[in-house]
Structure 1
Amino acid sequence: MSKKREQLVTTALDLFYYQGVHEIGINEILKVSGVAKRTMYSHFESKDALIVATLQKRHTNFMSWLKDVLKDARSDQQVINLLFDGLESWFTNKSEVLGKFRGCFFINTAAEFSAIQSDIVKYCSFHKTEVRALIEQKLTCNSSTLLDAICIMKEGAITTVHMTGEGSDVCEKSKRILTSLIEPKP
């Protein structure tokens, strides 16, 4: 990737993530990045194409982070603990890879677009599918119920912390609830 293209994507991702896709115009991205409009349009045919590039960059960063978070998981309990401990780290701004927490870039971006079949919304859906697949690879059981519960709790935790700003016990509660699904019943 060329230096100017990377500069545009990095700048746009930062601005979109912290302020919203529709709040940020091309001129703001150009001003902050220091890249000329002509250069931008030589790399991206439209703002939507730039948005997709930012989604791709965030996806790559997030998947790398998630793989690292789950790398030592050897049991379903460890998947749950490591995932929600990783989320807690992100929520409390201790994850350098993901930066300061402002919710899920994919949920936030998809929410700004009403056209479900747009490339932008499709990419957001692709990201969620890939995250689910990675979690599924790490689980030792073959339970779609547990996988569904983990993914729903993960999304709920992200949204709850983003909307309320309160995250002190969301991850601990999630771990307790999910653990109850894998503990043997008397």
Structure 2
Amino acid sequence: MSKKRQLLIDTALTLFYKQGIHAIGINEILTTSGVAKRTLYSHFASKDALLEAALETRHNTFMAWLNDKLDGANSDQHTIELLFNALASWFTHNEPKLGDFRGCFFINTSAEFSDTQCNIYALCQQHKAEVKTVIKNKLQGTNPLLVDAICIMKEGAIVSAQVSGYNPKHIASCITALQGMLD
């Protein structure tokens, strides 16, 4: 991948995540990146194509981070603790790989793209499905209700931290409730 293409993706991802997709225009991405309009359009046919590349980049970054955080789990209890403690670390801006916490880029993006038939919405759904698969694969048990509960609480914790601010009691409550399902 060319350096300019990567610069455009990184710049767009940063601006989209920080300010929202519809709030950022192509000219702001060009100004911030220092890349010429012609170069942008030689790499991306549209703003949506650039957004798709940004979503792919964030997906790859998040999945690597999640797998790293869940590695070494030795029980379902431990997997739950690792997941929610990693989220707490992200919520408090202590995860350099993910950058400052501004909510979930995929939740934020899907909120801006209400057409459930568009490719951008589909990429957001795909991300969530792959996160669920990683969590499921890290669990030793095969209880599908537990997997669903973990994912729903994870999403709720992310939105709650974004909207209301981080509260460590919420993370503790999620861990306790989910571990209670293991008994």
TM-score between both structures, scaled by the size of structure 2:
0.99
Aligned equivalents of 1:178, 1:171: Cα separation in 2:
11
Structure 1 partner of 2:62:
62
Aligned partner of 2:98 in structure 1 is 98
Question: Which residue of structure 1 lines up, in the alignment, with residue 135 of structure 2?
Answer: 135
User: Where does residue 3 of structure 2 map in the other structure?
Assistant: 3
Q: 1:96, 1:6 → 2: CA distance? A: 19
Partner of 2:21: 21
Residues paired across the two proteins, number:
183
Name the amino acid aligned to 2:135. Answer: I
Cα distance in 1 for residues equivalent to 2:37 and 2:167: 41
Q: Provide the rounded CA distance (Å) in 1 between the counterparts of 2:64 and 2:133.
A: 14
Task: Name the CA distance, whole Å, in 2 between partners of 1:75 and 1:166.
Answer: 26
Moved >2 Å (runs of 4+): none
Gaps of 5+ in 2: none
Task: Name the CA distance, whole Å, in 1 between partners of 2:169 and 2:91.
Answer: 11
| Matched letter for residue 55 of structure 1 | L
Separation in 2, partners of 1:166, 1:60:
25
Q: What is the letter of the counterpart of residue 121 of structure 1?
A: Y
| In 2, Cα distance between equivalents of 1:169 and 1:24 | 35
RMSD of aligned alpha carbons: 0.6
The equivalent residue for 2:168 is 168
AA aligned opposite 2:169: D
Match of 1:74 in 2: 74
Q: Distance in 1 between matches of 2:131 and 2:137?
A: 10
Q: Which residue in 2 is equivalent to 1:116?
A: 116
Please tell me whether the aligned partners of residues 55 and 106 of structure 1 are also in contact (alpha carbons under 8 angstroms).
yes
User: Quick one: distance in 2 between partners of 1:127 and 1:34?
Assistant: 30
> How much does 1:47 deviate?
0.3
Amino acid at match of 1:144: P
1:57, 1:21 → 2: CA distance? 15
- Displacement after TM superposition at 1:114 (Å): 1.7
In structure 1, what is the equivalent of residue 84 of structure 2?
A: 84
Identity level (%): 55
Q: State the one-letter code of the partner of 1:93.
A: H
| Runs of at least 5 residues in structure 1 that lack an aligned partner in the other structure | none
Q: 1:169 and 1:37 mapped to 2: Cα distance?
A: 48
Q: Which moved more, 1:124-133 or 1:158-167?
A: 158-167
Cα deviation, residue 168, structure 1? 2.4
Q: 1:78 is matched by which residue type in structure 2?
A: H
Q: Which letter maps to 2:155?
A: E
